[in-house]
Amino acid sequence: MKKYVTRRVLFVFPIMLVLSFFTFALSYLSPSDPVTLKYSRLGVTPDMEMIEAAKEELGLNDPFLVQYGRWLGRVLRGDLGESYKYGTSVWATLTEHIPNTLILTAATLLLTVVLAVPLGILSAVCQNRPVDYLIRFVSFFGVSMPSFWVGALLMYAFGVKLKLLPVMGDGDLRHLILPAVTLSIWMASLYVRRVRGSMLEEMNRDYLTGGLARGLSRSRIIFTQILPNSLLSVITMFGMSIGSLMGGATIIETIFEWQGVGKMAIDAISVKDYPVIQGYILWMAIIYVLINLVVDLLYRFLDPRIRLEGGGA
Amino acid sequence: MAKHRMNKAGILTLALALTLLLAACGGQSAPAANSSAAQSEAAAAQTPTAQNQTPAQPDAAPAENAAAAPKHLNAAIYWSAATLDPAVDYDGWTTCRAGITETLVMVDENLELVPLLSDTWEQTDETTWVMHIRDGVTFHNGKSVDAAAVKACFERTMEMQDRAVTACKIDSIEADGQSLTIKTSEPFGAFLANLSEPLYSVIDVDAGTDPATAPVATGPFMVTGFKAEDVIELAAYPGYWNGPSDLDTVTVKTITDNSTRAMALQSGEIDIAQRVNNNDIDILRADPNYAVYETAGTRIQVLILNHANEFLSDYNVRKALECSLNYEALVKIMGGSYTLAGAPYPSSAPYGYDQLDVQHYDAAQAKSLLAEAGWADSDGNGYVEKNGKELSLTLTYNDAAISAAMEAVQAMAGAVGIRVNLDLRDSTGDIDSTRDFEMLVRNWQSLSTGDPQWLLDTMYKSGAMTNLGSYSNLELDKICDELSNAFDFASRQKLTVEAEKIILADCVNINLFGQNNYVIASAKVENVKPFPIDYYFIDNTTSITG
């Protein structure tokens, strides 16, 4: 197990190296010229002489690999460059927005778990009964409705009409409710169906019949055997959901004026602020790589079949 | 069966218990929101929220208490600023909107140039202007504003921003007490008007604070907090030279989404805002709790034609395109706050709109112009061709709100045989340097300083910085030069009309539609002034009733 964990953790480094290469290559290949973009912030339309001088100064005339190596060296020292738009360090811009995204992620996941797990269990246990039909019907709607539309409806209902909650901003807990609910309606609807499906799959296995034959109560089997087994398959999906949320829910963050990394990325993309875009892509890459790592390790820890198949490596 | 039901009930109970347990376990994440937001919202937390002030909250404080309560205004702007330094980019427009910074002169509600920090001025020769800095003006730190402070500020701005050098053609500045002498590098008739550009906002450059986050300026409000592209917290400056504001504090929130801005107004989170969608304006106009203030704006949506393009270099093609568009229909599609344009400057501006042959719809003329130039629909697909090439043009734009109008442009041009391909992008900023476009829609501030020369010099003059379509006419260039030497309004007006006639005759660009400026406020907000130029918004007279 220790050997596997070490190997799996070490494998992260080449992945990150490849990702950093593509991150830099994407910006390098973009049609916009960083020199012109930098000058435009200062209200200057540079002539060719100025552009060439600035390119030379910034090392933009060096071969691609030299530029990549220099950039990677800076990134490893924690220097992600300077935002064209803000004129501040990308690191400062990222760290200003990441906490808001983490808060929104945590709230959304909490609501999703609170809604999806009990309803998924209930739906599976009451398969093909009115409660099941109702839950499936509602979750079908939840999955089908675009989240920006749900967000607008919630803003109108709870902000404009009932005046119970603010429609925008990131000031306090009240500001968190609408964007978190908007995101979790879609996510919980998805997970209700997933939990239900996994539960039903496990409930069709022989060990349920075996347990009942041995005199165990149905509810005990469900909560001690079927639920843990069925949630295993949900873990991967959950990991990806955490990743996508931590990458920022761009549309929801934008319409609710929630100052997270998603909104930051949209703002950066609209003005082609490449250093910030690079920082955002690296953040996303790190998040996905780490979450995949955690999910893999969790799987191994929770599912003995994987441990045994791996020969105890 | 009974046992089975019991099991179901037990499972349901357990499921609910699990729900509660999970809720309790995750409860720690909620306070995190409070703590993270505490810094930015600290100032706002000291003041009553907008929701307490809305008509929907009848349990507001009694009148006698309300009189003593601090007055707070929540304002929303649509254009975010990365910094509060007027010398950076167009960030001065934001500080001007928020009532933080002021210029030496300003353009009032009637598009007239009026004194602000400079109360009198004199042009002593063609290139020399002596501005008297108003006595009794102080910066937010209490320091008196004299000519030396203005000189230091302008020199810093010119060092940081090339636009500050070119916009007023400043050659040298001298300071003597309250007298500021500015010499221009050449005679420049638009000097005074261009000095009203918020780029020339006066800040104390020796204040010891970072102007990017806490500029020390002269406006009615001083900065107490700032989060880039999010929120500016302000407090009224008690020493404001023109009488301190009746308000105690102001929160200026950046809300980029038009619908969100409208809903924030309706929910009571915002008291006053610039710009919302047309359909929201109609809703708010019908609601007695809100007032919509509207004035003729100076912004025009312009379809820039690339004269370097093989098709658009032909006058007949440009003119046919111009005649193919039904401008009244486009205005109707855009909705109530949009107006006919047809010329480089709006009809509300004093630049001879009535004397011009403004752009108008004439489909028959469009077809005959194309036929005259040898274009014909030889393959019967509805679009004209010449020398085996179809007349096909790409229209690039970046504002989804005008998509319906752009689709109408596509259909109208198609009706006379010109194929238009729509290209909606997130941003068209890179085109400024690449110039890689055929037709490009831009929202131009036609009278950004109340003076017409800026538009001519920057958008139409040969080789100008933002003459994206590479148009060139030596006769027009000559008029631009003459405008620099014309200092009285009548001669400037005459020259501007001449320039407009040339631009229209050459069919340089297509002025699609104009846009009125509007400010929407809660009925409790007092002294709202809609300005034709939208970088004026809140001033020392803006107030709110309890």
Count of pairs with CB atoms under 8 A, one residue in A, one in B? 176
B5: nearest CA partner in chain A: A126
Residues on chain B touching A218 (C-beta within 8 angstroms): 4, 7, 11
Chain A nearest C-alpha distance from B297 (Å): 25
> Do residues B455 and B446 touch, judged by C-beta distance below 8 A?
yes
pLDDT tier at B11, thresholds 50, 70, 90: very low
* pLDDT (tens digit per residue) in B338-381: 899 999 999 888 898 999 999 999 999 999 999 999 999 999 99
Nearest-Å Rg of the Cα atoms of chain A is 24
At residue A40 the predicted structure's pLDDT band, cuts being 50, 70 and 90, is low
Is the pLDDT reported for residue A179 higher than 60? yes
Say if the Cβ atoms of B433 and A117 lie within 8 Å. no
CB contact under 8 A, A110 and B229: no
The number of beta carbons lying within 10 Å of the beta carbon of residue B521 is 24
Residue B44 scores a pLDDT above 60: no
| Residue in A167, A182, A220, A264 to test binding to B, most B beta-carbons within 10 Å | A167
Mutation for testing the A interface, residue in B258, B267, B280 having most A CBs under 10 Å? B267
Portion of chain B with pLDDT greater than 70, in percent:
87
Residues of chain B with CATH 3.40.190.10: 36-289+523-544
pLDDT in tens, B208-240: 999 999 999 999 999 999 988 889 999 999 999
3-class secondary structure, B153: helix
CATH 3.10.105.10 placement within chain B = 297-516
User: How much is the mean pLDDT over chain B?
Assistant: 86
Check CB contact under 8 Å for A87 and B253.
no
Question: Does residue B211 sit in helix, strand or coil?
Answer: coil
CB count, 10 Å around CB of B322? 24
Backbone φ and ψ for B296, nearest 5 degrees, come out as: -60, 125
Q: Report the CATH fold assignment for B297-516.
A: Dipeptide-binding Protein; domain 3 (3.10.105)
Structure tokens at B75: 């304002």
The burial class, CB within 10 Å (0-12 / 13-18 / 19+), for B520 is buried
CA distance A17 to A68: 11
| Secondary structure of residue B274 in the 3-state scheme | strand
Of B434, B350, B429, B362, nearest to B397 by C-alpha is: B429
pLDDT at B58 over 80: no
Does residue B175 have a pLDDT over 90?
yes
A255 CA to chain B: closest CA distance, Å? 6
User: Rounded to an integer, what is the distance from CA A45 to the centroid of its chain?
Assistant: 39
Asked if B36 and A103 come within 8 Å (Cβ–Cβ), the reply is yes
Q: Helices marked H in A218-260 — which ranges?
A: 218-221, 227-246, 250-255
Dihedral, B204, B209, B212, B216 alpha carbons, nearest 10: -40
In chain A, what is the straight-line distance between the N-terminal and C-terminal CA atoms, in Å? 6
Question: Which of A31, A121, A168 comes nearest B264 by C-beta?
Answer: A168
Indicate the pLDDT class of residue B518, thresholds 50, 70 and 90: confident
Which residue does chain B place closest to A35, by CA atoms?
B433
Amino acid B93: pLDDT: 93
Q: Which two tokens stand for residue B477?
A: 């260039």
Long-range contacts of A1-10 (CB under 8 A, 24+ apart): A1/A300, A1/A307, A1/A312, A3/A313, A4/A300, A4/A310, A4/A313, A5/A297, A7/A313, A8/A293, A8/A296, A8/A297, A9/A293
Q: Searching chain B, which residue's CA lies closest to the CA of residue A48? A: B433
More confident residue, B153 or A282: B153
Inspect the interface and report whether the beta carbons of A173 and B34 lie closer than 8 Å: yes
Percent of the residues in chain B that have a pLDDT greater than 90, as a whole number = 67
State pTM to two decimals: 0.76
Tell me the CATH architecture of domain B36-289+523-544.
Answer: 3-Layer(aba) Sandwich (3.40)
- Please give the radius of gyration of chain B, using alpha carbons only, rounded to the nearest integer: 28
Q: Which residues contact B539 (CB under 8 A, 6 or more apart)?
A: B99, B220, B529
Instruction: Provide the sign of the torsion angle of the four alpha carbons A222, A228, A232, A234, taken in this order.
Output: positive
CA distance B98 to B245: 13
Judged by phi (left if over 0) then psi (alpha if -120 to 50, else beta), residue B388 lies in: left
B29 vs chain A: nearest CA distance in angstroms? 6
- ipTM entry: 0.73
CA atoms within 13 A on the CB side of A204: 7
Helix (H) or strand (E) holding B301: strand B290-305
Task: Residue A45: list chain B partners with CB under 8 A.
Answer: 432-433, 465
Closest CA to A97 of B15, B452, B230, B166: B230
Which phi and psi angles does B450 have, rounded to 5°? 80, -5
Confidence of residue A83 (pLDDT cuts 50, 70, 90): confident
CB A153: neighbour CB atoms within 10 A?
12
- Cβ–Cβ < 8 Å for B190, B484: yes
Bridge pairing between strands B221-227 and B170-176 = unpaired
Q: Rounded to the nearest 5 degrees, what angle is found at the Cα of B289, between the Cα atoms of B284 and B291?
A: 55
**Band of pLDDT at residue B49, cut at 50, 70 and 90:** very low
A310 to chain B, closest Cα gap in Å: 33
DSSP, residue by residue, A57-80: HHTTTS-HHHHHHHHHHHHHTT--
Is the pLDDT at A42 greater than 90, yes or no? no
Q: Are B306 and B440 contacting, i.e. CB atoms less than 8 angstroms apart?
A: yes
The CA distance from B427 to the nearest CA of chain A, in Å, is: 5
The Cα B367–Cα A5 span in angstroms is 74
Task: Give the C-alpha separation, B216 to B11, whole Å.
Answer: 65
Residue appearing with tokens 């918004």: B537
Judged by CB atoms closer than 8 Å, whether chains meet at B230 and A259 is answered as yes
Phi-psi group of B507: left, alpha or beta (phi > 0 → left; psi -120 to 50 → alpha; rest → beta): left
B229: closest CA of chain A, how far (Å): 9
Both tokens assigned to B63: 């009148």
Question: Do B26 and A106 make contact, defined as CB atoms within 8 angstroms?
Answer: yes
Dist. CA B516–CA A191, nearest whole Å: 48
Closest CA to B195 of B309, B134, B272, B107: B107
Please state, in angstroms and rounded to a whole number, the distance separating the CA atoms of residues B511 and B342. 5
Given a cut of 70, whether residue B305 has pLDDT beyond it is yes
Is pLDDT at B15 greater than 50 in this prediction? no
Distance CA B71, CA B107 (A): 28
Residue contact B15–A87, C-beta within 8 A: no
Give A91-127 pLDDT, tens digit per residue. Answer: 988 998 999 999 999 999 999 999 999 999 999 999 9
Q: Decide if A278 contacts A81 (C-beta within 8 A).
A: yes
Which chain B residue is nearest to residue A110, measuring alpha carbons? Answer: B26
Can you give the pLDDT at residue A37? Answer: 66
Q: Taking CB atoms and an 8 Å cutoff, what residues of chain A touch B255?
A: 168, 257
Task: Please say whether the beta carbons of B209 and B217 come within 8 A.
Answer: no
In the block, tokens 């190997």 appear at A7
**Residues of B whose CB is below 8 A from A254:** 256-257
Query: Which H helix or E strand runs over B409?
Result: helix B403-415
pLDDT digits (tens, 9 = 90+) for B415-449: 999 999 999 987 787 787 788 999 999 998 898 88
Query: Residue B199 carries which DSSP code?
Result: G
Q: Please compute the mean of the pLDDT values over residues B255-267 and round it to a whole number.
A: 90
Whole-number Cα distances in Å, B26 to A114, A190, B10, B14: 9, 20, 24, 18
Residue B108's CB is within 10 A of a number of other CB atoms, namely: 17
CA angle B162, B165, B168 (to 5 degrees): 140
Q: Which of B7, B256, B267 has the CB atom closest to A218's CB atom?
A: B7
Q: What is the pLDDT of residues B65-116, one digit of tens each?
A: 445 689 999 999 988 788 999 998 889 999 999 999 999 999 998 888 999 9
Predicted confidence (pLDDT) per residue in A196-246, tens digit: 999 999 888 888 888 888 888 888 888 888 888 888 878 878 888 888 888
Asked whether the CA dihedral B195, B116, B74, B533 is positive or negative, the reply is: negative
Beta strands B389-390; B385-386: pairing state: antiparallel
pLDDT per residue as tens digits for the range A45-57: 566 676 777 777 7
